[in-house]
Amino acid sequence: MEPIESRLKARAGELGFTLSGIAPATEPDGFARYAAWLDAGYAGTMSYLHRHRENRQHPRPIVPGVRSVLMLAFEYGQPHSDATPTAEPHQGRVAAYARGPDYHRLIWDRQNELAAWLMAEVPGCRAFGVSDTAPLLERDFARRAGLGWFGKNTMLINKRRGSYFFLGGLLTDLELMPDSPHATQHCGTCTNCLDACPTGALLEPGMLDARKCISYLTIEYRGTIADADKSLVGDWLWGCDVCQEVCPWNREPHAGPFPTDPALATLDPIALLRLTDAQFRQRFRGTVFFRGKRSGLLRNAAIVLGNCGDDRALPILSQAANDPDPVIAEAARWAVSEIQSRTGIATAME
């Protein structure tokens, strides 16, 4: 019979995980750098990162007695060239990872199946899958498991598969044979990602100020976006893929197992601004847009319209300027002002 490590990775592949590798469950190599990043304030309003800071120093708070971590990569695939940039002037772009169902549930279900398989193969062992929401420095363990290196854009990059994938880990109290860590870095002299970042969020190779990142502004940040940052968001309605799009390691397209929906590649901000709260919940339940709530998505829709400068949006923006949600209303007023300043069209906001 093949070793349990080989059979475990083969089963992971059957469940759709493109890459897998084993790392010892010890303190992550980059914890000190992560702590310094938090202390510098680069996490912005993501207070949960501070709350669980110490828990990320070792995976044992997730699974007591943990000895090994099987790191897993689940590809969501690159956006097709016909979806970026947008064909219509008032359409909003959506990051590739969001063009389908909420990935958390999808990955957790597959990890749970993998954990059940392992516990059946090795009776008495423990196994628990995590992805994104547990205090695990996933990139550190993925590098240690041989899946790739940290790119200058801070993404984990694999030579064969690029960077368009979700990361997750299967923690177990089994002593598994670890893989060799990825010890080299293959970005060379390339600075495409740093040069292309619309907001200058990449301060230096491997250092991201999340407060400037379009993904942070349109997803994680829940309040009123500063005017100076609104204009930098451009036509990104949800997230941003620029630093991945320009990466040479993503030149070859890879279609992942993630079930993408072409209708989510771009969204019409004008149509979004017409949504009531009930309509929003019905339309976006089961997707990652649901976590941003109506407030965040419609705020972003107004900002995209203001940046596009399409005067056809003025009527709906004037209505949205009176939305009961102050975050939406403020973004709509800004957008009206932006369009009026470009077109000279005066519109009463009633």
Per residue in 300-342, pLDDT (tens digit) is 999 999 999 989 999 999 999 999 999 999 999 999 999 999 8
- The answer as to whether 36 is a domain residue is yes
pLDDT of residue 24: 98
> Are both 10 and 146 inside the same structural domain?
yes
With bands split at pLDDT 50, 70 and 90, how would you rate the model's confidence at 87? very low
Angle formed by the axes of helices 289-308 and 326-343, to 10°? 20
DSSP 39-53: HTTTTTT-HHHHHTT
Tokens representing 111 are 């990890």
Q: If you ran DSSP here, which 8-state letter would residue 76 be given? A: -
Domain region containing 67? 4-79+100-172
Identify the helix (H) or strand (E) that includes residue 308. helix 289-308
Instruction: Respond yes or no: is residue 132 known to be catalytic.
Output: yes
- The answer as to whether 261 is a domain residue is yes
Return the higher-pLDDT residue of 77 and 104: 104
pLDDT of residue 80: 57
- The answer as to whether 133 is a domain residue is yes
- The answer as to whether 40 is a domain residue is yes
Which amino acid is present at 223?
A: G
- The answer as to whether 158 is a domain residue is yes
| Greatest CA separation for the chain | 77
Model-level pTM? Answer: 0.93
> Are both 14 and 163 inside the same structural domain?
yes
Buried (b) or exposed (e) across 223-236, using 16+ Cβ within 10 A? eebeeebbbbbbbb
Domain count, the chain: 2
> Are both 10 and 149 inside the same structural domain?
yes
Per residue in 140-188, pLDDT (tens digit) is 999 999 999 999 999 999 999 999 999 999 999 999 999 999 999 999 9
> Cα 99 from chain centroid?
11
> Are both 203 and 143 inside the same structural domain?
no
What mean pLDDT comes out for the span 239-256?
92
> Are both 213 and 260 inside the same structural domain?
yes
- The answer as to whether 231 is a domain residue is yes
pLDDT of residue 347: 55
Instruction: Choose the catalytic residue: 132, 195, 227, 261.
Output: 132
Q: Sign (positive/negative) of CA torsion 307, 219, 28, 160?
A: negative
pLDDT over 70 (residue 349): no
> Cα 194 from chain centroid?
18
Per residue in 114-142, pLDDT (tens digit) is 999 999 999 999 999 999 989 999 999 99
Per residue in 263-290, pLDDT (tens digit) is 999 999 999 999 999 999 999 999 999 9
pLDDT of residue 174: 98
User: Contact at 8 Å (CB) between 42 and 213?
Assistant: no
> Are both 230 and 316 inside the same structural domain?
yes
User: Contact at 8 Å (CB) between 332 and 320?
Assistant: yes
- The number of residues making up the chain comes to 350
- The answer as to whether 124 is a domain residue is yes
Residues 6+ positions from 52 with CB-CB distance below 8 Å: 135
pLDDT of residue 77: 84
Q: How many CB atoms lie within 10 A of CB 206?
A: 16
pLDDT over 80 (residue 231): yes
